[in-house]
Structure 1
Amino acid sequence: MRVQVAIVGGGPAGHLLGQQLYKAGIDAVVLEQRSQAYVLGRIRAGVLEQGTIELLNQVGAGARMHREGLVHGGIELGFNGRHHRIDLHKLTGGKRVMIYGQTELTKDLMDARAGAGLTTVYEAQDVTLHDFDSDQPSVRYTKDGITHEVACDFIAGCDGYHGVSRASVPADSLQTFERIYPFGWLGVLSETPPVSDELIYANHERGFALCSMRSHTRSRYYIQCALEDKADQWSDDAFWDELRRRLAPEVAEAMVTGPSIEKSIAPLRSFVAEPMRFGRLFLAGDAAHIVPPTGAKGLNLAASDVRYLAQAFAEFYAGSEAGINNYSDTCLRRVWKAVRFSWWFTSLMHKFPDDTGFGPRVQAAELDYLIRSEAAATSLAENYVGLPFE
């Protein structure tokens, strides 16, 4: 097979890039190690920035999102037994976010790709990347016991943190930066109505809590937990009891509880790999960076990366190499701003195990400043809805 771009990874980043390239008239194939059902079975984030919403509209994959997604113009910060609203819409000159599950977004992109008759290879095993330091790169994989080779102009590594793309880069060509947080998130998905019309981020002496949702009838809740905790150690009743303790009394009383339909624990980390380009190989999304979910930036950063990458490829085929040459630097400027915001918001809202004096008092002062200073609230709002693209 010969294509212009081989996309490794069939999650939201790979499929969004594929749809952009299709709209630009650039031939691409998507190679995914897992089955389609496996990819769609992963429970992931669901807060879309304004720019991500617009990008999905541009590639023709936004119709169901607008029918079923929940538009939010604000978030609530909970502390000292009270909740305070940050008006994102007002503070950012009219911008909002959309609550729409990553699984649903990925399905929409998959359907758009299939509807256009474009090639996606699922269960592509033993993927290897070759000669990306030359102008004749290729990708090999095994499918049904047969080895295949894709010759291409470029390889887009959209296969996540544990994927083959970043692992194929020589170690001495890569610089990584990482921070591991000393806690995790225990998350529960339930067929219950959300306790609030907007997301609630709660700072409490017992630990962080987040009240989120996937629809008007499906809720997603999180509590900060110890890294060594296991999901099966937490009964549903224990989870709901602990969540209630961390919320304002009137919110806790209004909460509708029910059996969990999914329960898992996720560790929190910040990770950045530099650069994001190696010859004809380009990293995007989780293959290049991870942020803690507090700021809702992971999926949105992936969308930002592939937006820049699609533009760079389009410029290349129009006769300019400026886009591909600047890709890494352009992406990393936005990445590090998102890493900063996610680190700040995580540090503000969580209880750190070894910090019992100075830290909590600084958190209390910062939270009080946020609700009293329009400038401080505006900074939070601008980052939450998404900084402008370059």
Structure 2
Amino acid sequence: MNEIIHLQQITSEQYLHKLQTKLESQNLLDENRNLSLADSSDQDFLEMFFIEKILTTNKRLSPHTLKAYRSDAKTLLIYFTEHELTFRDIGFPEVKAYNRYIREKYAAKSAIRKLEFFRRLLEFGYETQFYKAHLSTWISKPSSKKGHYIMEDSQMRPQVRELNQKDAEHLIACFPKIVKANTNREQLEKRNLLIGYLLYTTGLRASELLSLNWGSFRHNRQGILYADVIGKGNKPRSIPMREETIKILLDYRQSIGESVEINPEDISPLFFALYNKKDFHAEKKRLTYASLYKIVKEAVGLAGKQTKVSPHWFRHTFVTMLLENDVPLAVVKDWAGHADISTTNVYLERVNQDQTHLHLQKVSLFQ
């Protein structure tokens, strides 16, 4: 595995020669000089799959995405271990059995992702002659309601994973109240409040929020403060900051003794571990997703509403509120960083559905 990773990091001049030598020495080329894993071990097969189909990509994978891939692989390997299977044992009955196991154990969206991982693995196995049959054709994924929904426990109908304005404001007000530590209490409270405001007023993904640096902020030519972020697929975008959020941002910076002058060259993390930290100018350890998730869930517990709320609910809320206030669809797409406008249109369709009563009120049904 380390040799393959090293192979990816060398210069293009060295790449062909080293790749030829490596593949030929391990007998990984067939008579047509195509990659062949027909005689490879399970470990080599899985490693080559990750290198060629997961890690070798033009897109920068976020830590969250990589964690999901590892989780999918772990689920598959645990299933194999429990049923005393190897990758070589996989055939039609094993594919169908695993397919059923995933569909029964996981919610639709998680099942779809895990089965897609399995499908890609089987496709790669067929392409590289590890499998002689096209086994991926037997995978059948569950259907999932398009958009940002969860199924309510009590009734078989979708519940939108977002907040109304009143609940969102109430929840954000709880972010600073969850701080229990005496050390750096003021700084922690201001940090948590800023996290809540950024989630609510920018629609940032959790990974995007955590990757913010002080240098991520800049003034445009009109003097308006923007945040520059790198989203999914390594795509950059800029999001304007609201005055309320800017004030809290500057209060937070002042509380940790940092300059409030905008400096695009500053690559220090905006959010970092503050507990028991005495010197804020020392090396800063960037806040983790686990810490962010804990902040949100503790605030949710304190608020006493919508216990299933996660950081991503604020993103759904942001997009919906923009569309409810007639922000153009194309603008919302760009601010949210959606790869395709059809994703944004899912929100618009539901907003339009929720406003159908306005049309009904205009109709005269009684004389």
| Global fold match (TM > 0.5) | no
Q: Which has the higher contact order (CA 8 A, sep 6+)?
A: 1
Shorter-chain TM-score: which interval? under 0.3
Structure number having the greater strand percentage? 1
Q: TM-score with structure 1 length normalisation?
A: 0.22
Larger radius of gyration: 2
Higher helix share: 2
